[in-house]
């Protein structure tokens, strides 16, 4: 090949390459200018949800050559749409877009809350107005598909304490049910605000709405998945019991027996709660619950044996745990901790027994001398205090008192001690 020919070929390549470079550059520039500023070429692939919606709704000023700023857009709704559309174009996931939109929406209401100056009625009215407009504002910002995706995820999360697998049809049904419940709550809040329903009626209506919702949810999921979603299933309950028994070595068969006792206790407790729904503070309800607790404790003791059960009770006790935690700081050791625990248990039992005797006397119509009662209470309180003080020394005893592990009042009655 001659030099002249090679030169000619090279010149042809010069022309071809120049044309190619210009064509590619024109093509790239054209594509970039068709997208909002700052958008990368792969952005569209990353997050499709509601993008067409949002892009279509983007205010026209976004396409102007001068890029607008947040404060340039006076309407909060337009501002959010503009902001979300730009972020979505940059591939920001829908959940994060929803966070941005929600926060911006909430900030928009700040001044209205401030204007209430702490007036509870005004605050309730503003809160309700905000709650009622939230869905529309979020939908406007995220677009229909983006809103639905975010809202469904939120509603399902609220409806289930533990997430269970659901088909898309089931998810959609639960979402509809939850939205119905939400709408009912808003209506009831509105009634409360307007004074068209009183608190008792509203509470009853709330209970009814929730009961309907959970019953329908059970229909959708079936018994097993429903229980799991509400953490009412055996696995979850067994996990709780296992955590409680963590420091006590139990065999499998012991565990199964305790689990059965727990299930029976829970069932009976539910029935009592249902039975005394109107008045859970009644003396009769308390008596029944006490009897139930005692029966469960006896079963635990039978299964675990007295020593292990006692140790289990110690570990469940907040005062005991506190003493173990601050053992060194309070100058205690295992034997002293046991001593305090036993003394306080005994003291508490004396109080309960004495109280029961007094109630018995009163029930028989016998008079009770208040001074005698006070003297007795003071006496047992002093005995317990002196016993603890001499065994622990003043310093440790004071530390326990200061930290309310043991607490005595002047009248001698035990107050809010954790034992």
Interacting residues with another protein (CB under 8 A): 3-4, 6-7, 10-11, 13-14, 17-18, 20-21, 24-25, 28, 38-43, 46, 69-72, 83, 86-87, 90-93, 96, 99-100, 102-104, 106-107, 195-200, 239-240, 243-244, 281, 283, 325-326, 329-330, 367-368, 370, 399, 402-403, 409-410, 415
Alpha carbon distance 185, 207 (integer Å): 11
Alpha carbon distance 335, 262 (integer Å): 31
What one-character DSSP code corresponds to residue 60?
G
Nearer to another protein, 176 or 418 (CB): 418
Question: Please, what is the minimum distance in Å from the beta carbon of residue 210 to another protein?
Answer: 19
Cβ-based neighbours of 391, under 8 Å, separated by 6 or more: 336, 339, 343
Nearer to another protein, 25 or 270 (CB): 25
Check residue 330 and give left, alpha or beta (phi > 0: left; psi -120 to 50: alpha).
Answer: alpha
Alpha carbon distance 205, 188 (integer Å): 8
Q: How many CB atoms lie within 10 A of CB 207?
A: 11
Question: Please, what is the minimum distance in Å from the beta carbon of residue 406 to another protein?
Answer: 13
Angle among Cα 202, 203, 207 to the nearest 5 degrees reads 115
> Of 210, 255, 209, 202, whose CA–CA distance to 230 is shortest?
210
Alpha carbon distance 405, 400 (integer Å): 5
Nearer to another protein, 200 or 394 (CB): 200
Question: Please, what is the minimum distance in Å from the beta carbon of residue 70 to another protein?
Answer: 4
Residue 408: beta bridge partners?
A: 414
Handedness of CA 336, 337, 338, 344 (dihedral sign): positive
Q: How many CB atoms lie within 10 A of CB 126?
A: 17
Q: How many CB atoms lie within 10 A of CB 145?
A: 16
> Of 290, 293, 309, whose CA–CA distance to 301 is shortest?
309
Question: Please, what is the minimum distance in Å from the beta carbon of residue 402 to another protein?
Answer: 4
Question: Please, what is the minimum distance in Å from the beta carbon of residue 9 to another protein?
Answer: 9
Question: Please, what is the minimum distance in Å from the beta carbon of residue 306 to another protein?
Answer: 26
Question: Please, what is the minimum distance in Å from the beta carbon of residue 319 to another protein?
Answer: 12
Nearer to another protein, 92 or 289 (CB): 92
Nearer to another protein, 307 or 410 (CB): 410
Alpha carbon distance 161, 384 (integer Å): 45
Question: Please, what is the minimum distance in Å from the beta carbon of residue 393 to another protein?
Answer: 17
Question: Please, what is the minimum distance in Å from the beta carbon of residue 86 to another protein?
Answer: 7
List phi, psi (to 5°) of 405.
-75, -40
Nearer to another protein, 76 or 311 (CB): 76
Nearer to another protein, 83 or 166 (CB): 83
Alpha carbon distance 232, 223 (integer Å): 10
Cβ-based neighbours of 172, under 8 Å, separated by 6 or more: 152
Nearer to another protein, 194 or 307 (CB): 194
Q: Are 391 and 329 in contact (CB under 8 A)?
A: no
Nearer to another protein, 87 or 248 (CB): 87
Nearer to another protein, 349 or 374 (CB): 374
Q: Are 153 and 174 in contact (CB under 8 A)?
A: no
Question: Please, what is the minimum distance in Å from the beta carbon of residue 380 to another protein?
Answer: 20
């Amino acid at each position: 090949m001659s030099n002249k020919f090679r030169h000619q070929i090279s010149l042809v390549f010069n022309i071809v390459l120049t044309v190619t470079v210009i064509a590619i550059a024109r093509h790239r520039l054209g594509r970039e200018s068709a997208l909002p500023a700052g958008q990368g070429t792969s952005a569209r692939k990353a997050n499709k949800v509601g993008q067409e919606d949002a892009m279509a709704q983007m205010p026209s000023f976004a396409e102007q050559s001068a890029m607008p700023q947040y404060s340039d857009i006076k309407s909060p709704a337009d501002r959010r749409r503009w902001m979300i559309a730009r972020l979505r174009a940059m591939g920001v996931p829908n959940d994060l877009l929803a966070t941005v939109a929600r926060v911006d929406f909430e900030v928009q209401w700040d001044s209205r809350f401030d204007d209430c100056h702490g007036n509870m009625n005004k605050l309730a009215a503003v809160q309700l107005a905000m709650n009622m407009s939230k869905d529309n504002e979020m939908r406007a910002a995220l677009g229909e598909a983006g809103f639905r995706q975010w809202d469904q995820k939120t509603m399902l999360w609220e409806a289930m304490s533990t997430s269970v697998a659901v088909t898309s049809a089931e998810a959609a049904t639960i979402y509809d049910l939850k939205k119905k419940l939400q709408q009912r709550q808003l209506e009831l809040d509105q009634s409360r605000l307007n004074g068209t329903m009183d608190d008792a009626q509203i509470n009853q209506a709330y209970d009814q709405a929730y009961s309907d919702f959970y019953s329908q949810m059970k229909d959708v999921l079936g018994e097993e998945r429903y229980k799991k979603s509400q953490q009412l299933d055996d696995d979850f309950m067994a996990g709780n019991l296992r955590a409680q028994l963590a420091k006590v070595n139990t065999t499998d068969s012991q565990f199964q027996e305790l689990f059965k006792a727990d299930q029976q206790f829970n069932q009976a407790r539910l029935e009592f709660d249902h039975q005394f729904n109107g008045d859970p503070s009644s003396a009769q309800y308390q008596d029944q619950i006490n009897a139930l607790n005692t029966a469960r404790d006896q079963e635990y003791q039978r299964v675990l044996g007295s020593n292990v059960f006692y140790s289990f009770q110690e570990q469940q006790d907040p005062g005991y745990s506190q003493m173990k935690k601050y053992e060194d700081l309070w100058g205690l050791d295992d034997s002293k901790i046991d001593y305090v625990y036993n003394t306080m248990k005994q003291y508490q039992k004396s109080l309960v027994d004495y109280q029961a005797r007094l109630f018995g006397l009163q029930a028989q119509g016998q008079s009770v001398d208040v001074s005698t009662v006070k003297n007795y209470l003071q006496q047992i309180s002093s005995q317990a205090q002196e016993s603890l003080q001499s065994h622990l020394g003043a310093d440790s005893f004071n530390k326990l008192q200061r930290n309310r592990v043991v607490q005595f009042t002047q009248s001698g009655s035990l107050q809010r001690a954790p034992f």
